[in-house]
Structure 1
Amino acid sequence: MAIGLLVMAMHARSADLIIAANGKTRATVVVAPDAGPWEKRAAQDLVHYIERLSNARPALADSDEAARQALRGSGPVLVVGKAALTLVPELRQQLERVAKPKPELRADAIVLKRKGKLLLLAGTNDDAHYYAVAELLRRWGCRWFMPGEFGESIPQTPELHLGALDYAYAPPFEVRRYWLSWLGDSTGKDEFMRRNFFNDVYVPSGHALGTYTKELVPPGQTLFNVPIADNRTASHLSQKVLPEYKAGKDVSLSMEDGIYASGSADDKALATLQYDKYFLGPSYTDAFMQLYNKVATQLQAAAPESRAHLGFLAYSNMTLPPVLEITAAPPLVAYLAPIDIDPIHGVDDVRSAPCREYRVIMEKWAKIMQGRLVIYDYDQSMLVWRDLPNPSHQAFRRDVQAYRAAGILGVDTESRGALATTLTNLYLRGQLLWNPDTDADALLADFYVRFYGPAAKPMARYWGEIFRAWQETLVTEHEYFVAPAIYTPELIDRLRSHLEAAEVAEVAEAAEQVARPGAKARGQGVQHLHDRLRFTRLGFEVLTAYMDMVRAAATDGDYAAAVAAGERGLAAREQLADMNPTFATFRSIGEKGYAWWPGEVLQYRELLPYTNGEKGELVARLPLVWNFRRDPDEKGRPGKWPTLPVDESHWRSQPQPLSLQARQQIAGQWEPLRTDLYAQAQGVVTPDYQSYTGLAWYHTDMSLEAAQTQGKLHLRFPGLFNQAVLYLNGEPVAVRRLSHPLWWSNDYRFEWDVDLTGRLQAGVNRFFLHIDNPHHFGGIFRRPFLYREVLQ
């Protein structure tokens, strides 16, 4: 381009640059003819959104001749991508000054600069050119809170202008990615990612090791039993992946999805170095790290010119960092996947010992990997869930600060894209990964106004209640059993009130539209507001129906009511999916088995005949509140607790006997505990907020009439997590054994049926349940009942 044209453009007036006014514009967007796909899309979207903002459409110059004409003219010229870097070479130096100097994978950076009538928007790569345009549009008020048109907020303005601008920025993380698992709907995903500064940078880290080691499986065993640290395994693996590595292709060496248990003498010795309390067995990290370093060293020697990476998951029983001092070989990139560590609280939260432990784990991995660490993040964080809101920003806003301080590569999030569950989680993740100092509260305040318009205030209260409940909760687990601890009846009532207030605001806005044709609901229109409140209302109907179901089953033992509520919730969920497939993604998952919501409804449908006379007659529901006592020193059995009176004086003497503080300090004394919620969620935690694990006892007394003791009587525990021994009137009468101590490896009904025929007596019967709880999620969580078997 002619130097004279450039000089003319740079010396245009320095006042605000008017891009569009009163529905008219003389602006032109310039992009190189050979622009990359996202660079070109950036220019096209800039044209599109300027028109949306101002009702005036600028010209698009995507040829050299059109660009020359635009620069000769007097109108504003917005130059995107390579064209900007060519026109003003000093932009490259600005990018170099802020970009990561020696990136492992890729350095992203952007520059936005005004020179006279020129507005220059560029980045370090194809994606980054788009980020520069996204940053400009963000400054003009454009938002993309969720993928697709539903989550878009574009204001309207009579004049679109720009003052002085000279801005260059680079994010601290190279990896800022999410992907959709469980066949989630990807509509709008790619655009949403770029508009919120995500990228697709990653090193393959999916489960892959079995592909290369199947020949090494010992006879009669599985992929999880191959020798790991053995030199022969390393040589075999190196030979398998050498062609790809030599060609410069990144390769995954990640373990398969399970728990490894090698019979190799070397592996067994290394496995004795540490016990993994999360997976209740030996840690195999030391063995795996020896394998990975051997493979990497051999590949580097065979192909020294290659810059390929070897990805692996720090997952399952190799989540803990190794005990032996080791530095990972340069090609290795670790993906730390803390699948069983509290996803609700941040790394520095005093209410979560697991999160504080996780910070130490993460920082040690970062040191071992010399920064080549990516967090494999889960969002939604509740892994087996019920389409209820599951916010995560309350934790992520803290975690991202720790990630930056540790100097890691970034975060790769496994998402399902179910917006009724995740809402703004991904939006906030993208913004925080781009700039960890972003004020998440300010982003949320902005969201309420732009997304809900005239209903912003009640909706801010609605979502604020939900966010606060998750932020303040004691629970640290990650499946649907936590729901009643968070979504209490009192919270549901408050949410209903806020939602109804928002719907009143919607009616008022619609009336105003009739009175003033052309009025807009904060630039979004009444239809957008209606759709967004309907989305929120349907989500609330799903939430209330599910919680009604849980309370009917777990608290009241009313299985007919539980089934009815469950079916009502599933119907509301169908309406959500009909409204938009990104709202609820259960249809693509294929929910089969008792772990899923339809399976939970089926479980209650199958329990109903034991109480309605078909298979059994309800004799009595056992008390909702039992006595509970921790037994960390295993004193209960030798001390014959089931034969002794239960002393309640200690907890009754406390100023606030049911408070969390009282429970934390109660030591080995008896305390009351409900049987409709697992133990830890009721405060059965240590003073430093570690979930109590180990032995414990439940006790209740129940009086029966003589007629109630007749026939084939059974005690049904509809929800019990642990191995247990049941004592009746001082004697052990039944033992419950599980197939695996890890609760999720067992039947998800978690039921136990005990035949008590001939064992119950008229008058008082004393029940003691001795549980062994090795993990979080402990105790009884659905109220037990007695039934009389009906002879068929």
Structure 2
Amino acid sequence: MVFRIPGKEKVMIMRFFLAVATVCFAAGYSVAEPLDIVSDGVGQATIVVAQNDEDATTGAAEIQTFVEKMSGAKLPIASEGEAVAGSDIMIYVGHTKAAKEAGIDIPAGFDSTMRPEMYEEEGYVLKTRGKAIFVGGNGDGPYHGTQFSAYALLEKLGCRWYFPGDWGEVIPEKKTVTVPELDIESQPDFAMRNIWIDGRWLISSENRQIHQQWCMRIGFSKHSLGAGAETMYPTPGDGSLAQWLQPRDYAEKHPEWYAMNEAGDRTATPESNSSFTMLCLSNEEMAAEYIRNVGKSFETSKPGTVADLGVGISPPDGVPYCYCEKCKVASANFSYPRYVHKTMQTEEVCRFVNKVAAAFPHKQVGVAAYSLRDIAPQGVKLLPNVSVMQAPISCCVIHPNNDPTCWRRQEFIKNLKRWVKLTPHVWLYDYTQGMLVSQFEPERDVANFAINAPIYKEIGIKGFGRQGSNAMMATWISYYTSAKLMWDVNADIDELKKDFYGTFFGPEAGPHVQAWWDACEAKQLEATLHVHESWLLTHLYTAEFTRSIRKHVDLARQAKMTDRQRERFGIFELIAEHFEKSTQTDEAVKNLDYEKAAACTKRMLELRTKLHEISEFLIGKSAQTQQWEMFTAGRNRKYEKLAARVNGDSGKLVVPLPLETKFKRDRFNVGITSEWYGNDFGDSDWGSKSTYLTWDAQDEPEDAVGHDYDGYGWYRFTVDIPDEFEGKAISFYSGGAINEAWVWVNGEYVGHRKHVIWWLGQNEIDFDVSEFARPGKNTIAIRIWNDTEIGGMFNRGFLWSPDQDETATDAK
């Protein structure tokens, strides 16, 4: 029923009807029409909040805040049952009596019983009836449906939150705010929806709170590390395994409860940090004490990752393992070197987790399928109260799940399906920033997740607790679009992008900015490599490529924009220049112009500092200061050192390594016995390879799913050493070799560069070859062993004559 009461009596009668809550909705409403909740800057509506409903109170406050930002009008808020004056239109928020009387069925309820359909009660409604707007959802247990309904209403009014913080939101300015006719009932496609910020680049407490609020605004659930009571499945964080057997309490008395290393020593001491301590999982006494301590934790709600719902269990990060005889006997000895360079231990860990789960059948026990536990177990069935956090650290981040040429993605999906067969309680902990080692170049998670999300829904995982980082200069809008796709896998990614670019930069500039980002995404997809390191894409992300897409930046700059849109465009310009400098760095390294490479990396750090000053979410502070060699500050230092080696400051260039050399695969490991390193060895039938790119970046894949060559490969080339270096020290430097290398000069063995995990990018070869090299022609042979899908020389190199204070770093 619609009330239209003229004159002063309207105030008194409206107060009466709201106070006694006798407005009769059951009688039915007239057909809903668009409602002006603000007209010409004057509020026309009252927000009425369900009593004792925290979710509704938050949602109502957000509606009030953003309507005022839009129009300048601050709509009054009243608790249902309080007197309200002067409004025809009511915005009912939460589980109000008015909604019930109107026949509006608002989702509610939470059943914490561990069952396949667990966590599937969430949802919201958004409806108009006559002069009433109903905003409500399930707020029980871990859910926040009413808040999501409030944000859905604000999005209908044009509000957008593309990035965390004021700089990332777009709130339309309009004196009249009109709510269209609404009849929406919505449930998420995934129960868990979250990308948390890991803090590796440093982030303030204030910005963590801003991020949490932003997550709610775009539709993420509150499940994340540290979500407390609102956590859905217990998070098996790295190193949580030993928290119930603290070394300070047990290591001295029971050293046998802790892992034995490969040398046969049990190294845990009372001073050991439990987060980095592995247990001996085959020890039954340890397991019994472990279970007793977990039970005590449930009773007292004390340490570790114990929550009301259960406990998360995971060994430390890395490749922790117990090498005692009993553990080795228990191992099935499954090995997957393309995933991790140690024997898998999924079976042992899952058997242990089952013991804990059996002791607490009414609690959840979470296990991390990560590192040595990545591959689903053989011969172990998980108990019904076990949940799995799948964390595919080795997976390719370039290609989407449906790419038939990406074996890593294909195997990941097969493995994920096997985990889901073992338990319906599987959630995905993947990574965005996907490039775990990068210079913060553009990534393609926006495009990939739009393809991947429907596949994950079909498989039946419960959702996501993705590891994110404050590096949105690289991830761009992927967190925003991921949130929309986690709620609705059928969300139109093209429309989401069109809306963002046209709104954030304006309808003229937006398409040009989008063309730039789309070109970067498309370029990555050309890769036949299957990696998560951007430094392996230097054959695609080239200076020539960034020059080719510069036109999009120039065209956008010339387009019409508002002042606010031009400020945002300034952010994009910094990102585009940073990408250009990154590719120019690689070009300089290829040409051995280390002074230019150092200048480019210095400029990259300056650009990042500017982006950081705009927002800590674009890039964290430590991304400018991290000195590890694989990151930009460390690279800058390395290039300055290399420049000094060749420009006379600490040494002098003798001769560059050739960009192209002779090359041959050694499939059957006959190169040494056949003396492929000899000066007189005939290599006329050999092929050739660049010394700047890995052989995988140059070769066609071995099969249709994209496997690359694993094995030995040999490089041979001749260099001319000028006479001026007669009797002087000479060193050999190569920018990289994956994974292991042996060097010969003039048929004489020089030395061995030990096996190094490739993704860190610390793969140089650096030998003193003074006793082997001589003026004139010198034959150099390099044998490389690769067992991880990425192999060969890269980043070229040179021979140089060091000053007395400078020496090669590798021992013979």
Q: Deviations over 1:198-252 (max 9, x none)?
A: 0112322212112234332255435665321443332122111112335635322
Report whether the alignment pairs 1:676 with 2:737.
Answer: no
Describe the shift of the 1:7–1:437 C-alpha distance in structure 2 as closer, same or farther (beyond 3 A): closer
- SS of the aligned residue for 1:121 comes to strand
Describe the shift of the 1:692–1:66 C-alpha distance in structure 2 as closer, same or farther (beyond 3 A): farther
Describe the shift of the 1:741–1:705 C-alpha distance in structure 2 as closer, same or farther (beyond 3 A): closer
Matches within 5 A, 1:188-203: 188-201=210-223, 202=231, 203=234
Which residue of the partner structure matches residue 235 of structure 2?
A: 204
Quick one: which amino acid aligns to residue 372 of structure 2?
N
How far has the Cα of 1:123 moved from its partner?
A: 0.7
Describe the shift of the 1:589–1:335 C-alpha distance in structure 2 as closer, same or farther (beyond 3 A): farther
Which residue of the partner structure matches residue 377 of structure 2?
A: 322
Say if 2:26 and 2:101, in contact at 8 Å, map to a contact too.
no
Quick one: which amino acid aligns to residue 500 of structure 2?
F
Q: Of 456, 477, 485, which residue of structure 1 is paired with 2:510?
A: 456
Matches within 5 A, 1:407-418: 407-418=460-471
Quick one: which amino acid aligns to residue 362 of structure 1?
L
Sequence identity percentage: 23
How far has the Cα of 1:403 moved from its partner?
A: 1.6
Say if 1:465 and 1:491, in contact at 8 Å, map to a contact too.
no
Moved more, 372-381 or 672-681: 672-681
- SS of the aligned residue for 1:122 comes to strand
Matches within 5 A, 1:207-606: 207=238, 208-213=240-245, 214=247, 215=250, 216-217=257-258, 220-222=266-268, 226-246=279-299, 248=308, 250-277=310-337, 278-300=339-361, 307-324=362-379, 326-368=380-422, 370-453=423-506, 454-505=508-559, 509=560, 521=561, 526-552=562-588, 554-587=589-622, 591-606=626-641
- For structure 2, list consecutive stretches of 5 or more residues without a partner in the other structure: 1-17, 224-230, 251-256, 269-275, 302-307, 806-812
Report whether the alignment pairs 1:76 with 2:89.
Answer: yes
- Please give the alpha-carbon distance, in whole angstroms, between the structure 2 residues aligned to 1:417 and 1:636: 48
Name the TM-score, length of structure 2 as normaliser. 0.85
Which residue of the partner structure matches residue 125 of structure 2?
A: 111
Say if 1:630 and 1:696, in contact at 8 Å, map to a contact too.
yes
Which residue of the partner structure matches residue 4 of structure 2?
A: none
Matches within 5 A, 1:89-100: 90-92=103-105
Moved more, 434-443 or 578-587: 578-587
Which residue of the partner structure matches residue 767 of structure 1?
A: 780
Which residue of the partner structure matches residue 742 of structure 1?
A: 757
- Please give the alpha-carbon distance, in whole angstroms, between the structure 2 residues aligned to 1:766 and 1:153: 63
Quick one: which amino acid aligns to residue 345 of structure 2?
Y
Describe the shift of the 1:233–1:629 C-alpha distance in structure 2 as closer, same or farther (beyond 3 A): farther
Q: Deviations over 1:478-520 (max 9, x none)?
A: 2242352342122211332211221122xxx4xxxxxxxxxxx
- Please give the alpha-carbon distance, in whole angstroms, between the structure 2 residues aligned to 1:447 and 1:604: 39
- SS of the aligned residue for 1:474 comes to coil
Which residue of the partner structure matches residue 136 of structure 2?
A: 122
Quick one: which amino acid aligns to residue 346 of structure 2?
T
Describe the shift of the 1:144–1:9 C-alpha distance in structure 2 as closer, same or farther (beyond 3 A): farther
- SS of the aligned residue for 2:429 comes to strand
Which residue of the partner structure matches residue 645 of structure 1?
A: 682
How far has the Cα of 1:535 moved from its partner?
A: 0.8
Say if 1:31 and 1:61, in contact at 8 Å, map to a contact too.
yes
Which residue of the partner structure matches residue 685 of structure 1?
A: 701
Say if 2:454 and 2:489, in contact at 8 Å, map to a contact too.
yes
How far has the Cα of 1:760 moved from its partner?
A: 3.3
Quick one: which amino acid aligns to residue 109 of structure 1?
G
Describe the shift of the 1:113–1:778 C-alpha distance in structure 2 as closer, same or farther (beyond 3 A): same
- Please give the alpha-carbon distance, in whole angstroms, between the structure 2 residues aligned to 1:647 and 1:90: 85
Describe the shift of the 1:137–1:93 C-alpha distance in structure 2 as closer, same or farther (beyond 3 A): closer
Which residue of the partner structure matches residue 150 of structure 2?
A: 133
How far has the Cα of 1:583 moved from its partner?
A: 1.5
Which residue of the partner structure matches residue 60 of structure 1?
A: 77
Say if 1:617 and 1:787, in contact at 8 Å, map to a contact too.
yes
- Please give the alpha-carbon distance, in whole angstroms, between the structure 2 residues aligned to 1:294 and 1:102: 21
Say if 2:99 and 2:105, in contact at 8 Å, map to a contact too.
no
- SS of the aligned residue for 2:125 comes to strand
Say if 1:225 and 1:263, in contact at 8 Å, map to a contact too.
no
- SS of the aligned residue for 1:66 comes to coil
Say if 2:430 and 2:466, in contact at 8 Å, map to a contact too.
yes
- SS of the aligned residue for 1:64 comes to coil
- SS of the aligned residue for 2:208 comes to coil
- SS of the aligned residue for 2:633 comes to helix
Q: Of 764, 767, 773, which residue of structure 2 is paired with 1:754?
A: 767
Say if 1:121 and 1:132, in contact at 8 Å, map to a contact too.
yes
Quick one: which amino acid aligns to residue 319 of structure 2?
I
Say if 1:560 and 1:605, in contact at 8 Å, map to a contact too.
yes
- Please give the alpha-carbon distance, in whole angstroms, between the structure 2 residues aligned to 1:681 and 1:226: 41
Which residue of the partner structure matches residue 24 of structure 2?
A: 6
Q: Deviations over 1:713-735 (max 9, x none)?
A: 22111322321122334x24223
Quick one: which amino acid aligns to residue 208 of structure 2?
S
Say if 2:542 and 2:584, in contact at 8 Å, map to a contact too.
no
Describe the shift of the 1:235–1:486 C-alpha distance in structure 2 as closer, same or farther (beyond 3 A): farther
Report whether the alignment pairs 1:781 with 2:794.
Answer: yes
- SS of the aligned residue for 1:620 comes to strand
- Please give the alpha-carbon distance, in whole angstroms, between the structure 2 residues aligned to 1:251 and 1:89: 43
Say if 1:224 and 1:261, in contact at 8 Å, map to a contact too.
no
- SS of the aligned residue for 1:227 comes to coil
How far has the Cα of 1:49 moved from its partner?
A: 2.4
Say if 1:567 and 1:601, in contact at 8 Å, map to a contact too.
yes
- Please give the alpha-carbon distance, in whole angstroms, between the structure 1 residues aligned to 2:352 and 2:282: 5
Residues matched between the structures, number: 734
Quick one: which amino acid aligns to residue 211 of structure 1?
Q
Describe the shift of the 1:419–1:84 C-alpha distance in structure 2 as closer, same or farther (beyond 3 A): farther
- Please give the alpha-carbon distance, in whole angstroms, between the structure 2 residues aligned to 1:631 and 1:779: 12
How far has the Cα of 1:178 moved from its partner?
A: 1.9
Describe the shift of the 1:545–1:3 C-alpha distance in structure 2 as closer, same or farther (beyond 3 A): closer
Say if 1:577 and 1:585, in contact at 8 Å, map to a contact too.
yes
- Please give the alpha-carbon distance, in whole angstroms, between the structure 1 residues aligned to 2:208 and 2:278: 37
How far has the Cα of 1:345 moved from its partner?
A: 1.4
How far has the Cα of 1:589 moved from its partner?
A: 8.8
How far has the Cα of 1:528 moved from its partner?
A: 1.6
- Please give the alpha-carbon distance, in whole angstroms, between the structure 2 residues aligned to 1:495 and 1:62: 55
- Please give the alpha-carbon distance, in whole angstroms, between the structure 2 residues aligned to 1:586 and 1:629: 45
- SS of the aligned residue for 2:618 comes to coil
How far has the Cα of 1:758 moved from its partner?
A: 4.3
Quick one: which amino acid aligns to residue 126 of structure 2?
L
- Please give the alpha-carbon distance, in whole angstroms, between the structure 2 residues aligned to 1:12 and 1:146: 40
- Between Structure 1 and Structure 2, the one with more helix by share is 1
Quick one: which amino acid aligns to residue 242 of structure 1?
G
- Please give the alpha-carbon distance, in whole angstroms, between the structure 1 residues aligned to 2:312 and 2:320: 17
Matches within 5 A, 1:622-637: 622-637=657-672
How far has the Cα of 1:296 moved from its partner?
A: 1.1
How far has the Cα of 1:761 moved from its partner?
A: 4.9
How far has the Cα of 1:107 moved from its partner?
A: 3.0
Quick one: which amino acid aligns to residue 130 of structure 2?
G
Quick one: which amino acid aligns to residue 209 of structure 1?
L
- SS of the aligned residue for 1:734 comes to strand
